[in-house]
Structure 1
């Protein structure tokens, strides 16, 4: 058994929520490989589901040999190739009229005591460490840009009509720009990868309380129990990873 397989425990869940008939999210949970992913599709029901599934299936085929830098390079190459493929909408989804097919992606890749988070879009990665919650990823959205430019407060952004407009996603443009954050993992760290449908339902204290539970499966169960108590208008996805 590899060190990754013995060091990491994780659990994942995705579902449509209470309103949408189709789930356009997809997740990957591979603790043996040290790889976890959440993808949130865009471009209409058929296209969104196809895009997120392509992201997950392609990343699932990556080899787990090599050091973290080599595996990161392979993951990036895979996502850039997918971006080109999804950009060729007529060849991918000729039967569907939607003009855009794409997906957010947030991935956590781990090897030994090092990990790297890679993302494009507004699916998020959180870290729970020593009783505190940290958002490691930064949304690639119009609203986040307005917040960064101090044109909106976080409270105003929540109700902004363009709250869901993305500035980056796999398949959304000719050039894919990925954000990458590498860091050291400490004993007891927990991570949450999730789509916007989940974190929009739950405030940070609720996320932290779930991540503080004894195991990943319980954390995922708590997150979904609480999210489904609300309107759950969007698809819900979460992967919880613990070291």
Structure 2
């Protein structure tokens, strides 16, 4: 089976059980080989505006022939959005000290080439060979405390500011994006999701859902599981497979 086959995908978002407003957004464009999840920064003004702007802007990117050209355009667009969110929108909400921001995780697929690009704690997972891999690494205080070996994952999770983001689009003057490039294998399945989804599900639950035959069925299983829990945050997921 060729790894360059057609990709199928399904996407869904839900406000969850507590929040009235959904500040998550997604892009589901299998024909362009591009998928995105953005999670507006909770508690800040216009988080939904930020996430929707990111998704709308990335949807308008032109299609280059080369994978490198497309990846470069994607990165440049996110840097432009960081400047726009940091300057124009902050002024427009009428408060000098307000932050208008959003996480972003994007997956670009072309032939057998892939790139995951992210800032924040929305994640990209890969299901390959009956194993689940987390491709992205959270830009959060929890992860920072673990990386600096000051705390165990359990201790870091108990920190009162564990969920604070260390990177996001619009959160600081300079945006630092992480990019992971890799080769696609036949049978690969991908999951992009906001923290509201993965926080309510175990790795085993994620893997069981991604092993199902179609993206839509996998998505239904993920949301069934997450909505059985507390679902205190907005939930968004995109499942991609050949």
TM-score bin, normalised by smaller chain: over 0.9
Structure 2 counterpart of 1:122: 121
Structure 1 counterpart of 2:210: 211
Cα root mean square deviation, aligned: 1.8
What is the DSSP-based 3-state SS (H/G/I as helix, E as strand, rest coil) of the residue aligned with 1:239? Answer: strand
- Distance, in Å, in 1 between the alignment partners of 2:89 and 2:238 is 32
Contact 2:89 2:100 in 1 (8 A): no
Whether 1:101 aligns to 2:100 is yes
State the TM-score, normalizing by the size of structure 1: 0.94
User: Which region of structure 1 is more displaced relative to structure 2, 82-91 or 148-157?
Assistant: 82-91
Give structure 1 stretches of 5+ with no counterpart.
none
Structure 1 counterpart of 2:32: 33
Query: What's the CA shift for 1:42?
Result: 1.2
Contact 1:43 1:101 in 2 (8 A): no
Query: What's the CA shift for 1:157?
Result: 2.3
Query: What's the CA shift for 1:65?
Result: 2.6
Deviation per CA, 1:127-178: give whole Å up to 9, x if none: 0001000000000111101001111111222222112111100000000010
For 1:186-205, what aligned pairs fall within 5 Å after superposition?
186-205=185-204
State the TM-score, normalizing by the size of structure 2: 0.95
Structure 2 counterpart of 1:179: 178
- Distance, in Å, in 1 between the alignment partners of 2:157 and 2:225 is 20
- Distance, in Å, in 1 between the alignment partners of 2:123 and 2:91 is 27
- Distance, in Å, in 2 between the alignment partners of 1:77 and 1:157 is 33
Contact 2:215 2:241 in 1 (8 A): yes
Shift in alpha-carbon separation, 1:4–1:212, aligned structure 2, 3 A: closer
* Aligned length, in residue pairs: 241
Shift in alpha-carbon separation, 1:131–1:20, aligned structure 2, 3 A: same
Structure 1 counterpart of 2:49: 50
Structure 2 counterpart of 1:10: 9
Structure 2 counterpart of 1:169: 168
For 1:126-141, what aligned pairs fall within 5 Å after superposition?
126-141=125-140
- Distance, in Å, in 1 between the alignment partners of 2:236 and 2:90 is 29
- Distance, in Å, in 2 between the alignment partners of 1:51 and 1:57 is 10
Structure 1 counterpart of 2:109: 110
Structure 2 counterpart of 1:220: 219
User: Which region of structure 1 is more displaced relative to structure 2, 3-12 or 168-177?
Assistant: 3-12
- Distance, in Å, in 2 between the alignment partners of 1:97 and 1:43 is 18
